[in-house]
Each structure stands twice: as C-alpha cells, then as structure tokens.
Amino acid sequence: MTEAALTEAALTRGEAALSGLRGRALDLAVGLALLFMPFWMGAIGGYTELASRIVVMGLAAMSLNFLLGFTGILSFGHAAYFGLGAYGAAMAIKYLDAGTIPAMALGMLVATLAAMVIGALIVRRRGVYFAMVTIAFGQVFYFLAFRWNSVTGGDDGLTGWHRLPIDFGFARLDIFGSDKAFYYFALAIFAVCIGAMAMLLASPFGRTLIAIRENERRARFLGVPIEFHIWLSFVISCLFVSVAGALYALLNNFTDPRALRFDLSGNLVIMAVLGGMRSFWGPLIGAAIFVALQDYVSSHTENWMSVIGLVFVLVVRFFPRGVLGMLRSGAKA
Amino acid sequence: MPKSYSCAGIDRRRLMKSGLVLAAAQIASPFVIRARAADAVRIGLDNPLTGTYAANGKHELDGCQMALEGINAKGGILGRPVELVVEDSTSGDAGAAVQKARKLIEGDKVDFLLGNVNSALALAMAQVSNEKGILHIVPGGHTDAVTGSSCHWNVFRVCNTTQMEANAVASALVKEYGKKFYYITPDYAFGHTLEAGMVKAIAKLGGERVGGDLTPLGSVDFSSYLIKAQGMNPDVIIFLVQGDDMLNALKQAVQFGLQNKVHLAGAQQEMEPLEGLPPEARIGTWVLEWYWNQPGVPHVAEFVEATKKRTGRVPTARTWFGYVSTWTCAHAAAAAKSLKAVDMAKALQDYHLPPEIALGPNPAFYRAGQNQLLASLFVGDAQAKGSAPDDLFKVTKVVNGADIADTVEESGCKMTWPT
Amino acid sequence: MTQVVLFNVFNGLIVGAFYALMALGLSLILNLSGVINFAHGGFLALGAYLAFTLIPYIGFWGALVVAPLLTAALGLVIERLLIRPLYGGDPLYGLLLTFGLAYIFEDMTRFIWGAQSLPFQLPAWLTTSLSNEFFFVTGYRVFMIVIVVAAVGGLFAVLNYTRLGMRIRAGTRDLDTVSTLGVNVRVLRSLNFGIGIYMAGLAGVLAAGLLGLSPTIGASLIMPSFVAIIVGGLGSLLGTLLGGLLIGVASGLAAVYFPSATEAVIYVMMGLVLLIRPRGLLGEEGRLH
C-alpha cells in the first residue's frame, strides 16, 4: 500500500519522465544526437573535444540531478566529488601506472568513500544549511588538493601524465591519439552510468526518492527511513559524478584544484536547472547549452563572465523550470 | 500557445528579449575580428583575460597586437597576411586553457600557439601543443620546468627562468645588505622552485637562510609572517610572493615600518603590481625582466612611444614578452622558409633576435637544446617617484642572461626531436 | 616565543574582527530572508572601488561614509528587482541568482576599473606604526578595530533599541506572525538587505586599505565569512561575531606553529564544529532546517 501511494503521489505531479511515447521519442532523439555528435559538431563551429566535454559535463549534471531534481536536496559542493574522481584517476595513472579502467575505478572508489563519510555527517540538515555545509566541505577538498603539494601538485595540478590506449586483448582503443575514439569511450561510460541511474529512478527506491522530494513529512509518516534514503541518494549521486570527474581528468590529461572549486559546483547546478531539474534528460541539455555557450562567448568577448552570470540570473527569474520544463508545460497548455 | 506571465507588472517576454539584446550587445563588442581570410597565417593566443592574471595577459596581448601590425606591414609571414586569434584561458582553470588550446589548433587551425602567463597552464598547454606538433611560444610563464625537466622540442620561452632571476639579484643583495636572509614564499610549485633557486644563489655567495614561511596563495594578511620575520633579525626579507600577494605583503610591511629595520627585496617584480602600490610602499630591491626606461639603448624609445600611442601607457615586461613571442613566429617561418613546426624549431636554435625586437643592451637569443631566450635582466630598486610619472623603478645593474643562466644540463632539459 | 604568540593572537583578533564584519552582513541577510548571498564579496569589492573613485573628490573620510551607502543603495535596487520574487521559494534559486550576480560583479568591476590592481591611498597618519615595540599595531589596524566596533555596536543598537531592529529580530523568529501584525514584511526585508550590504561595502573600504585593490578581492574573502557563520551558528549574530573572531585568532596561531595551514585551519574548525556541535557554537537547533 505504501509503495503504491508513493508512486501515485509521484506520478500525479506529472513525472512522465520515463514513460509514454513522447518520452521515448525524446530518448531516441537524444541518443541519435549523441551518437553522431563528433560529426555534426564541426558543422556548427564546434570541435570533437567540445563534444567530449559536453558528454562529461552532462554526466556530471545528471548525476547531481539525481540528488537535486529527484530527491529535492540542494548540494552546492558536488565539485568536491567530481574532483576526487579526477584526482584519483590521475594519481593512479601517474604514480601507479594504472590502466584507464582501473584508474577510473580508483577515482570512483575514493570519491564514493568520501561521500559516504560526509553524507553521514550532514544528512540531518536541509535546505540552506545543507547547501552551506556542502559548500564548506567542497572547499575543504579544494584546500587539500591545493596545499598537499607533493602529492597533488598543488596549484599547478597533476601533470606529466596522459591517458593511454586501452588494450582489450582483441582490440586496441587508442583514446589518446584519437579524439573521436575518446569521445566514443566517454559516451559508452556515459551510457552505462545513465542507464544505471534510469533503472534506479524507475525502481521502488527511485520512487521513494521522488516522494521524499514532494513531501518529506508525509513520506516520514508513511514509515520511510528518510535519512537513509537521502544518504544513499547522496552517495549514488557522488559516485556517478566522480566517474564524470575521472573522465574529465582523462579528457584534459591533467587535473588541477579548479576541478574542486565551488564555481564548478555552481555551474553544475545551473546546468541542471537550465535544462530542467524535473526531467531526466534536462541536465544534459543544460550542460550542452552551458558548455557550448561558454565556449562560444568566451571566444568573442572578454566579458563572457557577465554573460554567464546573466544566464544564471535569467534562468532563475524567467526559466526556473528549465528548457525541458518549459517545453513540457508549453505543450500541455 | 505559451502563456505570457507578468511579474510585478513587467512583461516577461519583453524583459527576456531585452536581456537577450543585452547579451548580444556584449558579444558584439569589438574585441577580436574573426573574419577569416582564406590564406592567412594564424597565430593563436591562449592567455588569461579574466581573473588574477588578467592585467598581465592584457599587456601581453597588447604586445602581440603591436607585433602583428608590424609583421603585416612588412608583408606578413611568407608573403601571407597574419591573423591573431585570441582566447581566454582564464587565470587558473587548466581545463579551460587546454580546451581553448585544442579549439585553436583543431578548430581555428592555427600555425602557432602562444601562452600562458600561468606556469601550470603553460605546462598543460605544452602537452597539447607537443601532442599536435605545433610551434608553441610561452611569453610569460616562469616555472623552470617549461625549458627544464618538461622541455619539448616545439616549446620556446621568452621570459626568464626562476633560477636566472634569483642569480641576477643575489649578488646585489649579498654585496649591499648582508648575509642573513628570511624568505616569504608562496606555497606552490613556482614559489618552491623560486626559493630553492634563491637559496642556492645566495649560498654560493656566502649568504645564509635564517628562516622562512610558506604562505598560502591568495593570503590576505601577512602580519603574522612579518612579525615572525622581524623576530629573526635578518638583514634582508625576501618576498617571493607575486602579484596581489606581493602587494598585500609590501603594503603591510611598510605599514609596520619594517623597511626601517630590515632591507626588503625579492626576485621577480613587475610593473603591474608596482603600479598598484601606494607610493610609500614602492620600495625594495628586485629584478625586472624588461624595463621601458633604457636611455641610450636604440629602438627602445620608439617602442615606448608606439605603445603609449596605442594603449595610453608605457610598455611593461609583459608587453615586451607578447611582442617578442609574436615576432619570433615571423622570424622562425622566415628562417625556415616554411611553416612546418620541426623546421621552424630547428631554425630557432641559437637564433638571435634583431635589436629592434631584443630592445635591450645585451643580445637576445634562444639557446639551443633548451629553447630558452637569454636576454637582459634589470636589477634595481622600486621608487616612489622617478624622472617621469611611470618611472617606478631605478635600474642599478643590467645583467646579461647568458652570463648567469644555468647550463642546459643543470636545467634538466633533455630534448628529443621527432624522427 | 610568547611574544610572537601574543602578537599573533592580538593580530588575529584584528583580522577576525574584519571577517566578522563581513560575515555579519551575510548572516543578517541569511537569517531574515533565507538567501545565501553569494554576491556579498562582489558588493565588498564594489564598496572598495567606489571608495577609490570617490577619494580624489571627497577625501578618505568622505569616501568611508559615502561608499558603503552607495553600495547599500545598489543592494536595495538589486533586492527589489531580483531577489524579492524569490522569497518563499526554493533556496536553490536565491543561491543561483546571487552566484550569477557574483560573476557579473567581478566582470563589471574589471570592465569599469581595469584588471590591474589600483593603488589605494590612505591618509598618511594611518599607515604608520604606533609604537616601535608593538610595531604591528599600525594606525590603520587600530582604525579598523574602531570602525568594526562602531559598526557592530551600531548594528546591535539598531537591532535592540529601534523598532526596525525589533521587527527584524522578530521576523527572524517568525515572519508569518510579524506579517500578520501588520508589518510590511517586504520593506522589512529590503531594509535588512540594505543593512547587510552596507556592512559589506564598509568591509570593502576597510579591505582596500589593507590589501591590493583588484577585481578578485571579493571572491577571496567570501569563504571565511561562510565558515564564520557555520562555526558561530546559523541564526545567531553574536555567534557570527564570535565565529569571525575565532577563525581570525586560529589563523594567527596557525601562522606561528604551522604556517602552511593558516587557511586550512578555518576549515578544520568548521569540520570540528559540524562533528561535535552541528548547530554551531551559539546557533539554535532547528534553524532553517
């Protein structure tokens, strides 16, 4: 009875994210666009690396949205786990001569452990206080990366290494030499991660998260262990964001403390909001717009920061439901 | 049909439209001309235009643009017009710098890459330029590794290494002021190498390090370190902090009246922070990598006048770095008679720049096997007032870079060429 | 050694007072309006730059009075136009909006005043030490303490002895009831915001005397303010004041024993507080839960 009630509550809010023909059509459109991005990217003034960047940031934003849009918890410090994933992978390659997949696994492990510990500490807070605490913890990791010079390279970042071609035994994927190869590698990882996220969201666990977002008190009265669910959602969200971070390090052949700073956290949140927090693909759309916009604008004016700031302000004031949110309500009306 | 909401009486769509117009106006502000001539040679500049190093980046950009005009006036590179494509690397985000480097190389198909003020970003970009085989000139990134342990055949550097700066100023300090030195060092790789270099240079002359502090980058308050420093009774306090950190430290040191008890000095100094200091804080012995006031040296006055006309201010070392970097591209292509990076890099080995670009009393050349420009260093004292409102530095000695640089082996550079 | 320690503690109190000034403005806005003002650093920088521009016309003392007022005026405009519509909504939007504003502020200050650090000129008698023995006690640092004490004293006086202050304090506890009692809550929030921004502007003018004036000073000073609020406790202004002083002293002591950690130590303190007493030293349980 509980589960049905929760699902009912979630669906009545218009959570048609993953069901229905329109949902399927959107999935197909996005899938095709992603599959062929390196090819159509060039035509509109982009380049393959930009496409890879969009995929990486899209994954990060969608991971954040697992917590933000679907569980309703505001984390403004996700860059910390993104960065931990990046540093974990980079250090594995630089110091342990690890292969690409083990390196990414290490990054994921480090970040997830951190998320488990910190999540436990902060899970009782909500709203503004939770946000502030995530910001502050994010800064702690920024500091660690910054000061622990000997290990992390400090402000200069971890350099002097690069991603290596992956040997599958029967085939060799040269993700270092070929930008396109790396893009498809990143896309594959992306697909696996968001597939997992989609499955989780469609499961009873996922439905519970949505119910918590909608009305935490009611969910508590229904007997749902709130703190545990929020903690788990936080950990899952950080896990996937760390994968994005590891990919980011591989993309750049470099990682530095900027990957941990609160501006990245803020950018991830705006990507989720810009695209539409309440929809599954929203953050990816938001990431695509934001990354492409930033790339384009910063090439044409040195006041690009104002433009980006303006985007934040405009989204909050006029598009709080994001691109997909607007499209959805537009179609309804 | 979407409804139009009104908030507080303002029509949402109208406001949105005006917002978009505002944004478009921003983008349209004339900054870089991206009209592409089909057969142009392109130089890509990936440097900070925002953030902490924005001022330095801006001045390097000025130098690049002045050089560009000169190059095009003389017929361009290999008879083709030259364009400068500018990207903002930001002051610290290596991801952005690398992204822009790739954009310049793959998207804009530049023949040369220039940058970065931030040493760490310069190293990250060097990895990309080396991977892609593009000639890369670093105008103002100082960390030794660029032409040292991380040197590449395709990467050249105009500004000095930290060791050279340390060597230049060390003898002046030990001779004039004493043997006991206290260090205030920024706690990052550049700071550490700079301190190590200074300690080495000063030890060679008989000085000793009586103490020091590693200060976090972006420190707001230096009082604790200054209090400690003063307590150790050194002859000289060496400020290795740069940019805004140096500004803060010097301002506070002067407020404490420390300059009356101890001599204040450092290694690298630049016009940009000097101009940011109130006159009473413009003190200390430093080394500048290039200075505008060089009476008696040919061509310098014309360069200064041209810069003043174009930008409204005197050139700084950064302007000169940008100027030299861009002209180096032209000279490399002319000397190699080709735009192939390997040919140009080979042509630049031990290449001497002509005096109207060297703009200093000593010859300026790229040392073979290291790709490091060796030119002149200007040791002197910051001053509150000089012969002109911009004369903030009194040069006491011009050092020849070639005399004080470490050998190629000592630098740790082992250059390998592509087969 | 004890002398160095004492010096650093005293100095830490001075710097801590400055942090407290900034954090108090932020705390005021947070407590009443529930908005995390990420743009606080931007307002600080604006106060500093306005003072720099005004000094040639009205002197340092004139600028000290006028610049924070101008900054507060801009704050009121921004509150009215951009922030007011967000009240009562998801705190996410306030955070995002002020985040974007912070970007715009930094870029606009660079656009208007240039990227280069500007020489901020203080009156000569402020920039010298007051004694040879205690050389770090410069006129300026004493002046800073005086201003901070005056500002904090003024703030507490306003909050405790004026009707506006009483309404603000009541509103922090229970805004609905205050509104029901006929108080114009919108105006209250605006004025509260204005006061908070005034403090930021004032802190900016003070900062410019101590630090180099560049477009990035706002961004570098905002984090200690957050930590001060977390350490002191949300919802308590006294806590924020205490938090600011504590982190100032902690940094000073760290500089003596463990210099590389002078900045990290404030985050360690924050971590400890969150572990041992999550509501902060003087915070109230259940605030903004």
Which structure tokens are listed for A303?
Answer: 């006041």
Longest distance between any two alpha carbons in chain C, whole Å? 60
CB proximity B398 to A under 8 Å:
no
Nearest to A121 among C103, C261, C275 (CB): C275
CB proximity B79 to A under 8 Å:
no
Which structure tokens are listed for B323?
Answer: 């100027």
- Asked if C117's CB is within 8 angstroms of B247's CB, the reply is yes
Which chain A residues are within 8 Å of C288, Cβ to Cβ? 126-129
Cβ B177 vs Cβ B235: under 8 Å: yes
Return left, alpha or beta for B157; rule: phi > 0 is left, psi -120 to 50 is alpha, else beta.
beta
* Chain A residues contacting C via beta carbons under 8 Å: 68, 74, 76, 121-122, 124-129, 131-133, 135-137, 139-140, 143-144, 147, 266, 269-270, 273, 303-306, 308-313, 315-317, 320
Q: Which long-range contacts (CB under 8 A, 24 or more apart) does C142-148 make?
A: C144/C14, C144/C17, C144/C18, C144/C206, C144/C209, C144/C210, C145/C14, C145/C17, C147/C64, C147/C202, C147/C206, C148/C17, C148/C18, C148/C20, C148/C21, C148/C206
SS (H, E, C) B118-130: CHHHHHHHHHHHH
What sections of B40-118 are H helices per DSSP? 54-73, 94-102
Angle between helix A48-68 and B94-102 (nearest 10):
140
Nearest to C267 among A140, A309, A315 (CB): A140
The pLDDT of residue C3: 75
Tens of pLDDT, residue by residue over C100-121, are 999 999 999 999 998 888 888 8
| C289, closest residue in chain A (CA to CA) | A126
- Å from B52 to nearest chain C CA? 7
DSSP-assigned letters across all residues of B255-319: HTTGGGTSEEEEEE--HHHHHHS-GGG--SEEEES--S--TT-TTHHHHHHHHHHHHSS---HHH
DSSP-assigned letters across all residues of B215-237: EPTT-S--HHHHHHHHHT--SEE
Which chain B residues are within 8 Å of A248, Cβ to Cβ? 95
Has residue C173 got a pLDDT over 60? yes
Cβ B52 vs Cβ B118: under 8 Å: no
Q: Which chains touch A (3 or more CB pairs under 8 A)?
A: B, C
State the amino acid at position B30 in one-letter form. Answer: P
Report the predicted TM-score, pTM, of the whole model to 2 decimal places. Answer: 0.84
The pLDDT of residue B2: 41
Which chain C residues are within 8 Å of B50, Cβ to Cβ? 107, 110, 115
The pLDDT of residue B12: 46
- Å from C64 to nearest chain A CA? 28
A168-190: average pLDDT: 82
Which chain C residues are within 8 Å of A319, Cβ to Cβ? none
Has residue A21 got a pLDDT over 80? no
Whether ipTM exceeds 0.90: no
> H/E element holding B186?
strand B180-186
3 state SS of B80: strand
> H/E element holding B204?
helix B189-204
The pLDDT of residue B22: 47
Quickly count: other Cβ atoms within 10 Å of residue A3's Cβ. Answer: 12
C235-248: average pLDDT: 90
Tens of pLDDT, residue by residue over C189-230, are 999 999 999 999 999 999 888 777 888 888 878 888 888 998
- Asked if A258's CB is within 8 angstroms of B26's CB, the reply is no
A51-58: average pLDDT: 94
Nearest to C96 among A122, A135, A312 (CB): A312
The pLDDT of residue B224: 81
Q: How far apart are CA A247 and CA A184, in angstroms?
A: 12
- Å from B187 to nearest chain A CA? 7
- Å from A70 to nearest chain C CA? 14
| A301, closest residue in chain B (CA to CA) | B27
- Å from B100 to nearest chain C CA? 20
A63-76: average pLDDT: 92
The list of chain B residues with pLDDT below 50 reads 1-19, 21-35
Q: Which 105-124 residues of chain C touch chain B by CB within 8 A?
A: 107, 110, 114-122, 124
Q: What are the CA-CA distances from residue B178 to residues A95, B37, B182, B233 (Å)?
A: 43, 60, 12, 12
| B126, closest residue in chain A (CA to CA) | A160
CB proximity B218 to A under 8 Å:
no
Cβ A294 vs Cβ A304: under 8 Å: yes
Nearest to C85 among B7, B228, B258 (CB): B7
CB proximity B192 to A under 8 Å:
yes
Has residue A137 got a pLDDT over 60? yes
Which structure tokens are listed for B50?
Answer: 């925002």
3 state SS of C77: helix
Cβ C193 vs Cβ C29: under 8 Å: yes
List Cβ neighbours of B40 (8 Å cut-off, separation of 6 or more): B80, B81, B82, B83
- Asked if B98's CB is within 8 angstroms of A254's CB, the reply is yes
Cβ C17 vs Cβ C248: under 8 Å: yes
Which structure tokens are listed for B254?
Answer: 């002067």
Residue A330 confidence class, pLDDT cut points 50, 70, 90: low
List Cβ neighbours of A208 (8 Å cut-off, separation of 6 or more): A6, A219, A224, A229
- Å from C219 to nearest chain A CA? 11
- Among B45, B42, B43, B44, residue whose Cα is nearest residue B57: B45
- Asked if C106's CB is within 8 angstroms of A305's CB, the reply is yes
Residue B293 C-beta-side C-alpha neighbours within 13 Å: 14
3 state SS of A143: helix
Which chain C residues are within 8 Å of A266, Cβ to Cβ? 38, 96, 99
Tens of pLDDT, residue by residue over C260-276, are 677 778 888 887 887 77
- Among B248, B244, B281, B250, residue whose Cα is nearest residue B266: B250
